[in-house]
Chains A and B, each alone.
Chain A
Amino acid sequence: MERDLLRQALSFHGPTLLSLLRTEQHDNPDFRGLLPPAGPSLEPPREAQHQPPARKEKRIDNIEIQHFIAKKADLLFALSWKPSASTDSESNEENEDCYAVMPPLEQFMEVPSEDRRELFFRDIERGDVVIGRISSIREFGFFMVLICLGSGVIREISQLEITALCPLRDVPSHSSHGDPLSYYQTGDLIQAAIKDIDRYHEKLTISLHSSALPPSLSSTKLGVISSEDLPLHYRRSVEVASTSETYEKVLHHSLGFANPAVVEFLLGKLGLSESSPPSLMRGLQSKNFNEEDFAFALRKKQSASWALKCVKIGVDYFKVGRHVEAMNEYNKALEIDAQNVEALVARGALYATKGSLNKAIDDFEVALKNCPTHRNARKYLCQTLVERGGQLEEEDNLLNAQNYYKKALILDETFKEAEDALLKLRKHMQKSLEMREKQAAKEERQKEKKIETSAQKLRKLLKEEKRLKKKRRRSTSSSSSSSSDSSSDVSVSSSSSSSSDHKRHKKRSRNRSVSSRSSKKHSSRVSSHQRDQSRKDEWYSPPADTSASFLNQKYEMEKLLERQDRLVYQKTEVRERDRQCSLSRTSADDEDTFGGRSEDSRDSYCSSKTQSTSSKNEKQGKADRSSSNRRGSSSSYHWKSDDKTKTHDSRKLEKEVEGRKEQFRKCGSSQSMYSTSPAGSDFSGKSVEKNKQYSSTWLYEYSGNDDGSRHELTQSTNERRDYKNRESSPGETTKAKELDEETTLNGKGQSESGVKKSLPQNLLNIFNQIAEFERQKGSKQKNQ
């Protein structure tokens, strides 16, 4: 209770109110503590004080009002009613657009000037802004007659002849020399701040330094102002004084009064709140209102139950197998209530049954985010994650699969299935790694035998190349401009690799072949930057680094994982998109793929030709292209070599034998190429290790191919066949054999196409043959 307020009211209304209060509020504990001490002890003096002026206008309804006050005293004198927003923001911002700026009230009330003067000196305070006219300038300062007030109390003072002194020290000097007062003239309009008040002698001191202003008004400009800068209320009061308009008329004519937002604006100015409006009705106290009864809460509740109803209908549809209707209901539910957990879980479950595991995972994740304790959401999410992981495992994307299993385990540590799957996966990864190592070792041995003689040649060539590289650096710009070309290269590589894949794993072949095609779009957009970048890196790295070789497969698993992990997200993204694409176009895949591939190879062939600016040999260009297809990383290297000699290609092989030490790094770079490029990601098939395997064989093929093409096409194919036989004979898995077959075929096709560039007549024929052959093969596989 506000003791001061109550005391003031009591002193105003006299003892009758006190007795009424006693009877009305006697059971109110707040007043019990307040009234008795205020009553007996203070009553006699107050009566003595206030009885004399006691209510000159004693009205009939006065007693009614006192009854009213007594009854509502607990509300009226409640602390919470204190105007919360201290309205000191009431600066001199007078916006006529916001509300009606009225002349001071006393002007209409016609209050005698003595009273006005008295009240002015009672209410004026330091820091208030006053406006006046300079009446005289002395050596110690200037005097001015106040005409109006700019802040704080707004009063009508122009007739009061109040003078104020602005001492010299409070006049800022405008120039470094001379008297600051020389700047001012008698009659100037000055806006200044009150610095000191002598209420007894009615003397004011003002200052032109803004430090005299309160912080809220610090932006007010002090000093000389023009008559346009006079506050609006003063100009209004001048008008009113001349026309003697009534308050009501001025109000109605004011533009601000018609402002539809005037009520809100003034409520803010007066510190009243619309959200919890005050009331003297006990039933309307905003504190008694229950949040649950508010429209927003009710609507939310209603929407939730409505959405739930839709979900139920959807579940019923789902049970009878009408999945489309069920999906419609779920979507409707989510439209009504976008965060409805049940609807999200139900839709997720439907997605999962329909095989859209990623969408299902998304839905479950949103549901779980909204309601972390939802058991079904968690359970389903775990299951779906494991399922998706299994799917990825089957597609040989072991690292992603591992991630999914891990995610599932994070959600539910006790989820056995995920744990088992993860363990199994790890074993599998280990095994395949070892296997690959073995195979790599064999390959190495073979290579050594084969190309030992060229080892020494390579050294010479290396030196030579270093020189060339410097030259090459100068021509980087030409290579960077060919980024679009290289992207098409990648698409070829992906398509051809997928087609090889295609034959080996018919299960996944469809998806992959299509996905690789669709990835062309991505590759041109998404990966061109990356590859550009990586190529540039290689550009500046020593040639030993760039000659990526896969002879040595002793690449550590950890490094591999690190690399993969970094790229998992982006990879999965691309793959998912691809998958969606592939689903939509399962038919006519094979033909598309092959046709597309041959076309692409031609395209890329041409582009590679342009890339190798100084290409002397078409075959060279072709070889270059094909190898760059296999590994983006090697492309730059090849271009370099193109500039140099034809014989360079063979060097690659030699170098591969030579550069044992670099092989780790090489491996790394090529691996990263696979992971960064979408082509690599399209290899969603057979795990990283497998990818490596492919690429290694490809490399072989192409280095062989390059060799061969330099001399004779037929020779190269023979060589490759030899190689294939060699490779397959030392107890390779059948898979590897198949792979080799594929690679040979593709390589042949491509090398042939390369040759045909110089023989355009034959080109089409042979292409057709290849396409025919592959189509047959594809259909065979399908039949199988």
Chain B
Amino acid sequence: MEPNQAASDQTGPGSAETRSHFKVTRFIMEAGVKLGLHSIPVATACTIYHSFFTATVAPGPYDPYLVAMAALYLAGKVEEQHLRTRDIINVSHRYLHPKSDPLELDSHFWELRDSIVQCELLMLRVLGFRVSFRHPHKYLLHYLLSLRRWMNRHSWERIPVSAAAWALLRDSYHGGLCVRYPPQHVAVAVLDLALHCYGVEVPVHAQAQKPWWQVFSEDLSKAQIDQIVLDLIQIYTLDAEIS
């Protein structure tokens, strides 16, 4: 399994690295839910994680889970939803050792805590203290709102486009989409896929002078959307392979 995977692009789909990052971002998301973290801080944590590993040399001497924990901690600070290291450690420990009892608050625990704080500092330096990101979430929600007004309200109520789009956007952080594409593009692509899933078309889309995605983002072409959608679907394929 290793040789053909190594042959593929280092960041390409199915590479060992992508798989490992997928697993760790899955961990971030699960931990986020268990910590009661909102979507934006989780997205920030994932973005911090992804951009840390894009900024550092490929495998690196870093424990991805420690990086993930520090990313969660840092994201909580950045997005003003502060987390306590003790909770992060507890949830992570439980995730990595299912069904185990919480750690005792002994020296081992405090060392772990220190390592998170140290890792956080390292990440800040690696990222050049650029840790505030523009996420597609805000764009997507406004797009959804605009679309809702244009569509028939009964079909909108019937079809869970917003939920699907939101789920797709959250799931997209398993991969490096957030680092590679501008937020508006990701938001449009996610919305496009969600509409496709339910076979929904934007009303009188064909007659309009400007396609709806171009309204939302001027510099976006259909091909770009398709590329992002493909990347998105790839993440789900990876999910099916790994789990």
Contact = CB atoms under 8 A, between A and B. Distances in A.
A83 B229 CA distance: 24
Contact of B208 (A61, A65, A106, A302): A106
Contact of B36 (A61, A87, A294): A294
A68 interface: yes
B215 A247 contact: yes
B180 interface: no
Nearest to A276: B33
Nearest to A256: B142
A83 B152 contact: no
A122 interface: yes
Contact of A106 (B33, B137, B150): B150
Interface string A306-318: 1001000000000
B158 A5 contact: yes
Contact of B164 (A81, A153, A299): A81
A111 interface: yes
A293 B91 contact: yes
A129 interface: no
A734 B170 CA distance: 90
A271 B162 contact: yes
B55 interface: no
B236 A72 contact: yes
Interface string B217-243: 110001000100110010010011001
Interface string B110-132: 00000000000000000000000
A284 B104 CA distance: 28
A243 interface: no
A115 B207 contact: yes
B91 A295 contact: yes
A263 B39 contact: yes
A6 to B, nearest CB: 9
Contact of A306 (B34, B104, B174, B222): B104
Given A108-B215, A278-B164, A102 B86 contact: no
B147 interface: yes
A287 to B, nearest CB: 12
A305 interface: yes
Nearest to A73: B197
A279 interface: yes
Contacts of B101: 301, 305
For chain B, the bracket of interface size reads: 35 or more
Interface stretch (B13-21, B45-53, B60-68, B198-206): B198-206
B171 A284 contact: yes
A246 B138 CA distance: 17
A274 B132 CA distance: 21
Nearest to B30: A284
Given A153-B149, A283-B26, A83 B230 contact: no
A278 to B, nearest CB: 4
Given A106-B150, A109-B212, A272-B166, A262 B207 contact: no
Given A262-B138, A270-B145, A281 B239 contact: yes
B239 to A, nearest CB: 5
Of the candidates B149, B159, B240, the one having the most CB atoms from chain A within 10 angstroms of its own CB is: B149
Contacts of A296: 36
A68 B164 contact: no
Nearest to A300: B102
Contacts of A99: 141-142, 145
Given A61-B226, A71-B236, A281-B236, A263 B166 contact: no
A180 interface: no
Contacts of B212: 105, 109
Given A272-B163, A278-B167, A306-B104, A295 B36 contact: yes
Contacts of B40: 263
A64 B233 contact: yes
Contacts of B215: 105, 108-109, 246-247
Given A12-B199, A109-B208, A277-B166, A83 B29 contact: no
B2 interface: no
A280 B167 contact: yes
B224 to A, nearest CB: 12
B132 to A, nearest CB: 11
B103 A302 contact: yes
B149 A154 contact: yes
B38 A274 contact: yes
A57 B204 CA distance: 15
Contact of A305 (B102, B146, B204): B102
B218 A293 contact: no
A257 interface: yes
Contact of B141 (A57, A110, A262): A262
A64 B230 contact: yes
Mostly, the A contact residues are helix
A11, A119, A123: residue with the most chain B Cβ atoms closer than 10 Å: A123
Nearest to A122: B152
Contact of A102 (B146, B206, B209): B146
A33 B233 CA distance: 27
Given A65-B229, A108-B215, A110-B210, A283 B38 contact: no
Contact of A87 (B105, B157, B159): B157
Contacts of B146: 102, 104-105, 247
Nearest to B147: A105
B155 to A, nearest CB: 9
Contacts of A13: 196, 199
Contacts of A152: 153
B181 interface: no
Given A5-B158, A5-B159, A81-B160, A302 B105 contact: yes
A558 interface: no
B144 interface: yes
Contacts of A274: 38-39
B164 A280 contact: yes
A282 B239 contact: yes
A472 interface: no
B166 A275 contact: no
B191 interface: no
B9 interface: no
Interface string B161-188: 0111011101100100000000010000
Nearest to A265: B141
A37 interface: no
Contacts of A11: 199
A267 B141 contact: yes
Contacts of B222: 57, 59
B33, B80, B197, B201: residue with the most chain A Cβ atoms closer than 10 Å: B197
A610 B186 CA distance: 90
Contacts of A1: none
A298 interface: yes
B153 A264 contact: no
Interface string A244-269: 00111001000001001011101101
B69 interface: no
A264 B211 CA distance: 28
A184 B113 CA distance: 73
A280 B171 contact: yes
Interface in A121-136: 122-123, 125
Nearest to B199: A12
Contacts of B240: 71
Interface string A694-723: 000000000000000000000000000000
6 contacts: A81-B163, A112-B207, A153-B153, A278-B170, A284-B26, A298-B102
Given A13-B196, A110-B208, A295-B34, 14 more contacts: A5-B159, A12-B198, A71-B236, A105-B212, A111-B204, A154-B149, A246-B218, A263-B40, A266-B145, A281-B239, A284-B33, A294-B36, A294-B91, A301-B102
Interface of B: 26, 29-30, 33-36, 38-40, 80, 86-88, 90-91, 94-95, 101-105, 137-139, 141-142, 144-150, 152-153, 157-160, 162-164, 166-168, 170-171, 174, 184, 193, 196-201, 203-204, 206-212, 215-218, 222, 226, 229-230, 233, 236, 239-240, 243
Q: Would you list the 6 A-B pairs with minimal beta carbon distance, nearest first?
A: A12-B199, A110-B209, A302-B102, A266-B141, A278-B167, A298-B90
